[in-house]
């Protein structure tokens, strides 16, 4: 099994690789087309600004083979943090078009709905819910919690594409699952045993 972590110049890739190593999963970090084409599973990480991320993805030369792998060959892919936002059609953070694999967009937190206890960016641990039908959470520990750092969140057109939800002032989608396309807003590589289990499930069940 070849798991390729896509290197397009955005994100802390080594921390994801190290977390995978802890659960006994070998992976490669690569910006080479051949490594993407030969992959059995893909991880699209990312931190920072939406436009910066999508521009770097275009400049990497990986856009066409990535679309082919995911949309035609149905290779499982997991987007992480900015990586999941890039799966949508657009973002309020920028003007560039996203990958558009999932109908929906990335939006800023609605500040009028937040009280003084809810700061932006949202940073810290938060419980999630509504994940019971996903293999990504098979055998998950009770009351799973994950670590977030973000100012924007997903707003999906189809409720069936929502992987799970959380509450930070109001309920919002924290992930995507549509056939072979998955993504999470939180950082599994910073979420200790919960993140390890989630990555293990991605490798095992998809």
Active site members: 81, 187, 189
Contact predicate 187/26, CB 8 Å: no
The secondary structure of residue 61, as a DSSP letter, is T
SS3 146: strand
* Helix 13-22, helix 192-205: angle, nearest 10: 80
Q: Which two tokens stand for residue 142?
A: 């009770």
Closest by alpha carbon to 201, among 74, 25, 2? 25
């Amino acid at each position: 099994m070849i798991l390729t972590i896509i290197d397009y110049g955005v994100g802390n890739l080594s921390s994801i690789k190290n977390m995978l190593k802890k659960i006994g999963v070998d992976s490669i970090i690569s910006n080479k087309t051949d490594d993407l084409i030969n992959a059995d599973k893909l991880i699209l990480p990312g931190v920072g600004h939406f436009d910066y991320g999508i521009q770097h993805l275009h400049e990497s030369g990986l856009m066409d083979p990535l679309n082919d792998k995911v949309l035609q060959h149905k290779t499982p892919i997991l987007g992480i943090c900015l990586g999941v936002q890039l799966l949508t059609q657009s973002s309020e953070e920028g003007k560039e078009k996203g990958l558009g694999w999932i109908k929906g967009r990335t939006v800023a937190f609605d500040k009028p709905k937040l009280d003084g206890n809810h700061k932006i960016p949202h940073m810290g641990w938060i419980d999630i819910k509504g994940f019971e039908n996903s293999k990504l959470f098979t055998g998950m520990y009770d009351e799973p919690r994950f670590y977030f750092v973000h100012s924007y969140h997903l707003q999906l057109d189809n409720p069936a594409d929502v992987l799970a939800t959380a509450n930070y002032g109001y309920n919002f989608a924290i992930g995507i699952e549509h056939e072979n396309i998955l993504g999470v807003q939180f950082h599994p590589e910073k979420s200790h045993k919960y993140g390890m289990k989630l990555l293990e499930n991605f490798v095992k069940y998809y």
